[in-house]
Amino acid sequence: MTTPLNERRVANAIRVLAMDAVQQANSGHPGAPMGMADIADVVWREFLSHNPSNPQWANRDRFVLSNGHGSMLHYALLHLTGYDLSIEDIKQFRQLHSKTPGHPEYGYAPGIETTTGPLGQGIANAVGFALAEKTLAAQFNKEDIQVVDHFTYCFLGDGCLMEGISHEVCSLAGTLQLGKLIAYYDDNGISIDGEVEGWFSDDTEQRFKAYGWQVLRVDGHDADAIRKATVEAKSETAKPTLIICKTVIGLGSPNKQGKEDCHGAPLGNDEIALTREALGWTEEAFVIPEDVYGAWDAKAKGSEAESAWNDVFVQYQAKYPTEAKELLRRISGELPADFAQKAAQFIADTNAKGETIATRKASQNTLQAFGPLLSELLGGSADLAGSNLTLWKGAEGVQDNPAGNYVHYGVREFGMTAIANGVALHGGFIPYVATFLMFMEYARNAVRMSALMKQRIIHVYTHDSIGLGEDGPTHQPIEQIASLRGTPNLHTWRPADTVETAVAWLSALQYKDGPTALILSRQNLPFQTRDQAQIDDITKGGYVLAKEKGELKAIIIATGSEVDLAMQAYAELDGVRVVSMPCAELFMQQEAAYREAVLPSNIRARVAVEAAHVDYWWKFVGLDGKVIGMTTYGESAPAKDLFNHFGITKQAVVDAVNSLS
């Protein structure tokens, strides 16, 4: 069926903006925006419920461009529909400090829901959005009033489907029956290297049907077919839907459409002139006719939709005031007013108990205390709940109860973490996810995205060192903690005992500008005695755990399980101070006077001890100091034997201090 000329002209506004912006930047990807323009036209003008005047309206539909290299598609849509993204912003595509960077970046332009650079993570985020919507709806909606009711729309391409993460998350989306997730696959058969049939021959339709998705096929340039498929997708409530859209990449370019030439490079001025002629577009670069702007403008429709929802929410507030107040609090991201006080009491009680337990168990105890106070917690583990100890008595799986607060992610570390990013971005939840520290490597890029987008996500990593013992070097992390500590915006905690673990959890929950990694032990760790001032200083990331006897001559710095080694050495030494540094990033953010008080610069005899790679600690001990830790991979043996074998012992600490004093 032929699309009416006027409708194609409206869609062509996307095509010309994309090719003009990429040409001016001399960099970018015009092909996907030009190929997906007809799909975007239908979805954004007829189905997407959003308000350009208030991009943060809570009940808006979410839109994710998973094939983020086609970012000019998204920017064109935002500009045309009336968001605060001017034509000057479009002209600044890919320029320094612009609202229109090369890939959609969360926080740069209004209406960008998530950062989609690495392929596959956009669809993973979309699964997170849909999961959050379904869970939040189950927790707050009433039979007579629905206050959480929106869809997640996702565009994706061949690259997203080739990435392994798409298998992880789309499989889980089908299992969890995320019926309000609708994905549009840009099936253009082209990637950077050319025609994909030589390296991507999957039967995508059967693959997604096997996941439990509804799968529909359409001509991606037939507006009526796209419209009909979207209606069908919205009517299917038990299954997510994949709409396979057969498209021509770079549609409209006479010499480059359907070829890799238009995938990741400007069309060139001559080809752009030919494309304008082929599209019947007579306006100059970056000029959109007023009638086309009028066809796209969504501000009035969006304001009307939000106003109608506001009226519903007023009714909800009147009939269910407690739930309404709680929903607003959760959407705002604020913790309950009395939470800090109750958490402080738990920390005091934990200190009074003085238990010697593994910090993974201390973490579970903290969850047991904090969980009933925080309805926004949405936990999960990659098939390791019994080892990560992420389940608490009030945890209930969403697969059994949609209003639950726990997700059994299965063995999907990467997918789990990227889904959690989407949950956090959606709002209303603080997600925590867990695996062994070693298998953070599977999730590494999604952890980076958590940090890049400054999202409050708590990454729980247990089995933190060679201390896990017999599983051997494949499971014993060495370089992972240093990698996490080197990640901007991420707070990495490696607590030494029950009290430091509880404080770490409190800090993670209160930290709004990025994620937190909690590095926890499998083995029991001795309790360390502290006064209240020292407990307060834990929140600063590093503090004096044991003051020197007599004149200060040397400093021992330790984290996690090695704090006890430092304390054992301390008992045999004079003039030595022990500094526990559970979160080095937070310590480095403290005022210089505090850091100097903890680590006096005139004391050059310093020893750091941690059962992880030694390189991280040289900046704290200096060239005159010593670091006791790992420089090789581990071995398979009981933990005690491993610590002795690798020289991470009390005697090694004593000898190192004596050699410097």
387 known ligand binder:
yes
Tokens (6 digits) for 659:
């050699």
DSSP labels, 616-630: GGHHHH-TTSEEEEE
Distance CA(164)–CA(234), nearest Å, equals 27
- Whether 598 and 544 have beta carbons less than 8 Å apart is answered as yes
Asked whether the beta carbons of 391 and 97 are under 8 A apart, the reply is no
Strand partners, 555: 577, 606
Tell me whether residue 29 is annotated as binding.
yes
Q: Do the annotations mark residue 188 as ligand-binding? A: yes
117 is in an annotated binding site: yes
Backbone angles phi, psi at 517, to 5 degrees: -110, 125
Tell whether residue 522 is among the known ligand binding residues: yes
Interatomic CA distance for residues 178 and 129, integer angstroms:
10
The answer to whether 365 is annotated as binding is: no
* Angle in degrees, 0-180, between the axes of helices 562-570 and 650-660, rounded to the nearest 10: 60
**478 marked ligand binding residue:** no
- Among the listed residues 306, 413, 500, 585, the single catalytic one is 413
Q: b/e string for 312-329 if b means 16 or more Cβ within 10 A?
A: ebeebbeebeebbebbeb
Q: What is the DSSP string of 333-359?
A: TPPPTTHHHHHHHHHHHHHHH---EEH
CB 415 within 8 A of CB 124: yes
At how many degrees (to 10) do helices 440-452 and 121-140 cross? 80
Instruction: Work out the burial of residue 406: count CB atoms within 10 Å of its CB; fewer than 13 is exposed, 13-18 middle, 19 or more buried.
Output: buried
Q: For the chain, how are helix, strand and coil distributed in percent, rounded to 5? A: 45, 15, 40
Catalytic site includes residue 413: yes
| Full strand arrangement of the beta sheet holding 152-157 | 62-65, 152-157, 181-187, 241-246, 214-219
Q: Using CA atoms, how far apart are residues 250 and 31, in angstroms rounded to an integer?
A: 4
Nearest Cα residue to 410 out of 209, 177, 172, 125: 172
Identify the H or E element spanning 397: none
Which phi and psi angles does 591 have, rounded to 5°? -60, 150
Per residue, the 3-state secondary structure of 255-279, as one string, reads: CCCCCHHHCCCCCCHHHHHHHHHHH
Structure tokens at 21: 């912006």
How many CB atoms are located within 10 Å of the residue 494 CB? Answer: 34
Residue with tokens 């407990």: 535
463 is in an annotated binding site: yes
- Rounded CA-CA distance 150/27 in Å is 35
C-alpha to C-alpha distances, 494 to 164, 523, 632, nearest whole angstrom? 30, 14, 20
Report in angstroms the alpha-carbon separations of 366 from 98, 350, 356, 361, 564.
Answer: 43, 9, 15, 9, 21
Under a CB-based contact definition with an 8 Å cutoff, are residues 449 and 422 in contact? no
Q: In the beta sheet, which residues pair with residue 436?
A: 462
Lookup: tokens for 221: 């340039």
Q: Which of 546, 562, 557, 549 is nearest to 619 (CA)?
A: 557
Per-residue tokens: 119:
């392929």
Separation in Å, CA 248 to CA 21, 100, 115, 259, 302: 20, 25, 26, 9, 31
Q: What gap in Å lies between CA 215 and CA 244, rounded to an integer?
A: 7
Q: Which residues are annotated as a binding site for substrate?
A: 29, 263, 360, 387, 463, 471, 475, 522
Report the catalytic residues.
413
Residues at the binding site for Mg(2+) are 158, 188, 190
Annotated binding site for thiamine diphosphate: 69, 117-119, 159, 188, 263, 439
Point out the annotated binding site: 29, 69, 117-119, 158-159, 188, 190, 263, 360, 387, 439, 463, 471, 475, 522
